[in-house]
Amino acid sequence: MSSSSSLPATDSPLITAMIAPAQVLRGAGAIAQAGDAIARFGQRPLVIGGDRTLKVIKPFLNPVLKQHSLQAQPASYGADCSETGLATLKEAIAQHQADFIIGVGGGKALDAAKLVAYQCQLPIVTMPTSAATCAAWTALSNVYSDVGAFQYDVGLPRCPDLLVLDYDVVQTAPRRTLVAGIGDALAKWYEASVSSGHSQQTLVIAAVQQARVLRDILLQKAVAALDNPGSETWRDVVDATVLMAGVIGGMGGAQCRTVAAHAVHNGLTQLPECHDSLHGEKVAYGILVQLRLEEMVAGNRLASAARQQLSQFYRQIGLPETLQDLGLADIRLSDLYRAAEFACRPGSDIHHLPFPVTPEQVVAAMVSTQAPTLVAAANLSFEGAAHPSQPPSPTVITDLEVDA
Ligand SMILES: [Zn+2]
């Protein structure tokens, strides 16, 4: 097929799609059945995880390693996915003469494992031990300082070679991790519809619409899932946060960007007081800040309605709505301003908002996530809630009501 066209290309002519891992195995007991798929990558895996997750994975993974005579060596990624931690991991790879990497854990361990595998040009297998993020799926790693302050993200040339999602392992994680994963996955819609809602590109349109379906699945099923760990509904929600959120990131690619919710997260990580809250918790709060900005700066009434609806949902499942909920009740204004300044630094994703914002406005939004809303949300369905420019779509779930 010739690519000749009378229309000029608006972007770089070459788009690299990194949509999905080469292989995904999921199910209860998935790791026990993944031996052949794992062993084809080599004989000497370095198993990268956190201290807790390496312990958790042992009874699941060791029998498989033994059965296939793999010479595995565990390695802790340290306190964070930081340049110091990555350097230590590289040494561990060299010392063990590892020929592939198995990443085990939540977001940070998997980010570290993916990035170091890429830097050392080794195959990478990911095994999420919680449903807190979609890091097991994506071709992206976030790099933090040694004390957990977000520094930058790195786009990787491909998604992992193999993802093994074992529900039995994920079920060992605290409830809070799934709640956080729900918050992180919800952000896909609120951010993608703002940054890419007007795109005419097929894959981007597809990604944005999938983000809406993802949001609806979460709003419908999260409460039941959290009440019944291990149930079919629980698995549906785990699939949503670990797999579907990853699909959207992969399909939308660089065109489907994060916006203020993640920029606020990145700002909050600059505050040591905030390190006890999980990525998805900060992002969930960041969604409310973003909606508040859309209300305050752009007068978006539907953003106000969306905020009211989300607040109710957050209360139901335990996502943070306020600085107080994030453990920042006593935060000094100067520290808050520092976080807001970081969120607004040049190149920050907050500038994907369709209007300019200042740190002062971000601070004002951060302290007012529970402000009275402009409109009563009771009569609005979620369809297109925050972003009226979205055309109606053939979404699988259409008439969602989370209002009491
Ligand atoms: Zn995230």
pLDDT in tens, 209-263: 999 999 999 999 999 999 999 999 999 999 999 999 999 999 998 777 899 999 9
SS (H, E, C) the chain: CCCCCCCCCCCCCCCCCCCCCCCEEEECCCHHHCHHHHHCCCCCEEEEECHHHHHHHHHHHHHHHHHCCCCCEEEECCCCCEHHHHHHHHHHHHHHCCCEEEEEECHHHHHHHHHHHHHCCCCEEEEECCCCCCCCCCCEEEEECCCCCEEEEEECCCCCCEEEEEHHHHCCCCHHHHHHHHHHHHHHHHHHHHHHCCCCCHHHHHHHHHHHHHHHHHHHHHHHHHHCCCCHHHHHHHHHHHHHHHHHHHHHHHHCCCCHHHHHHHHHCCCHHHCCCCHHHHHHHHHHHHHHHHHHHHCCHHHHHHHHHHHHHHHHHCCCCCCCCCCCCCCCHHHHHHHHHHHCCCCCHHHHCCCCCCHHHHHHHHCCCCCCCCCCCCCCCCCCCCCCCCCCCCCCCCCCCCCC
Q: Using alpha carbons, select from 161, 166, 133 the residue that is nearest to residue 56.
A: 166
Report CA(75)–ligand 1 centroid distance (Å). 24
pLDDT of residue 17: 79
Does residue 398 belong to any structural domain of this protein? no
What local confidence, expressed as pLDDT, does residue 310 receive?
98
Q: What is the CATH number of the domain that holds 292?
A: 1.20.1090.10
Q: Name the token pair of 130.
A: 């919680």
Q: Both 31 and 166 in a single domain?
A: yes
What would the pLDDT profile of 384-394 be if each residue is shown by its tens digit?
444 433 433 33
Ligand 1 center to 71 CA (angstroms): 33
**Ligand 1 centroid to residue 283 C-alpha, Å:** 7
Q: Grade residue 10 by pLDDT with cuts at 50, 70 and 90.
A: low
234 found inside a domain: yes
What's the gap in Å between 231 CA and the centre of ligand 1? Answer: 25
Residue 16 has a pLDDT of 75
Same domain, 236 and 162: no
Question: 348 CA distance to ligand 1 centroid (A)?
Answer: 14
% of the chain surpassing 90 pLDDT:
85
Tell how far the Cα of 263 is from the centroid of ligand 1, in angstroms. 10
Whether the CB-CB separation of 364 and 333 falls below 8 Å is answered with no
Do 191 and 220 fall into the same domain? yes
Ligand 1 center to 187 CA (angstroms): 8
Range with lowest mean pLDDT among 4-8, 180-184, 268-272: 4-8
Report how far residue 150's alpha carbon sits from residue 235's, in angstroms, rounded to the nearest whole number: 30
Q: Give the residue from 170, 192, 217 where a domain finishes.
A: 170
Is residue 299 in some structural domain?
Answer: yes
62 and 145 belong to one structural domain: yes
Q: Residue 12 — very low, low, confident or very high, per pLDDT cuts 50/70/90?
A: low
User: How far, in Å, is the centroid of ligand 1 from the Cα of 157?
Assistant: 19
Nearest 5°: CA angle at 145, between 139 and 151?
55
Residue 375 domain boundaries: 258-382
Instruction: Determine the distance separating the centroid of ligand 1 and the alpha carbon of 279, expressed in angstroms.
Output: 7
CA 243 / ligand 1 centre spacing (Å):
13
Which of 170, 199, 231 is the endpoint of a domain?
170
Domain boundary among 170, 189, 206: 170
Ligand 1 mean position, distance from CA 133 (Å): 7
Residue with tokens 């170091």: 116
Inter-residue contact 276 to 353 (CB < 8 Å): no
pLDDT value at 56 more than 50 = yes
What's the distance, Cα to Cα, between the start and end of the chain in Å?
A: 54
| 176 CA to centre of ligand 1 in angstroms | 15
171 Cα to the center of ligand 1, angstroms:
21
Helix axes 202-227, 232-239, angle to 10 degrees: 150
Distance from residue 389's CA to the centre of ligand 1 (Å): 24
CA of 97 to the centre of ligand 1 (A): 32
- 276 and 355, same domain (yes or no): yes
Q: 243 and 303 in one domain?
A: no
pLDDT at position 404, please? 28
* In a shared domain, residues 251 and 266: no
CATH number at residue 144: 3.40.50.1970
User: What is the number of domains present in the chain?
Assistant: 3
> How much is the pLDDT for 375?
58
- Output the CA 1–ligand 1 centroid distance in Å: 37
In a domain, residue 132? The reply is: yes
Tokens 């519809």 identify what position?
Answer: 193
Q: How far apart are CA 27 and CA 164, in angstroms?
A: 9
CA of 152 to the centre of ligand 1 (A): 13
Residue 394 lies in a domain: no
Report which of 321, 293, 195, 292 is spatially closest to residue 248, judged by C-alpha positions.
195
Whether residues 69 and 155 fall in one domain: yes
Distance 6 CA to ligand 1 centre (A): 38
Q: How far is the CA of 181 from the centre of ligand 1 (A)?
A: 8
Q: How far is the CA of 245 from the centre of ligand 1 (A)?
A: 9
Confidence of residue 377 (pLDDT cuts 50, 70, 90): very low
Mean pLDDT, the chain, as a whole number? 90
Q: Evaluate if residue 4 carries a pLDDT over 90.
A: no
Evaluate whether residue 358 is within a structural domain: yes
d(CA 313, CA 162) in angstroms, rounded, equals 34
261 CA → ligand 1 middle, Å? 9
Co-location of 58 and 140 in the same domain? yes
Ligand 1 centroid to 262 CA: how many Å?
6
Looking at the structure, tell me whether residues 284 and 248 fall in a common domain: no
For the cut 60, the answer to whether the pLDDT of residue 382 exceeds it is no
Shared domain for 252 and 315, answered yes or no, is: no
Interval between CA 42 and ligand 1 midpoint (Å): 31
Residue 197: pLDDT band (50, 70, 90) is confident
The predicted model scores a pTM of 0.90
* Alpha-carbon span 66 to 70, nearest angstrom: 6
| Same domain? 161 vs 212 | no
The answer as to whether 136 is a domain residue is yes
How far apart are the CA of 112 and the centre of ligand 1, in A? 15
**17 in any annotated domain:** no
Ligand 1 geometric centre to CA of 174 (Å) = 18
Tokens matching residue 72: 């595995």
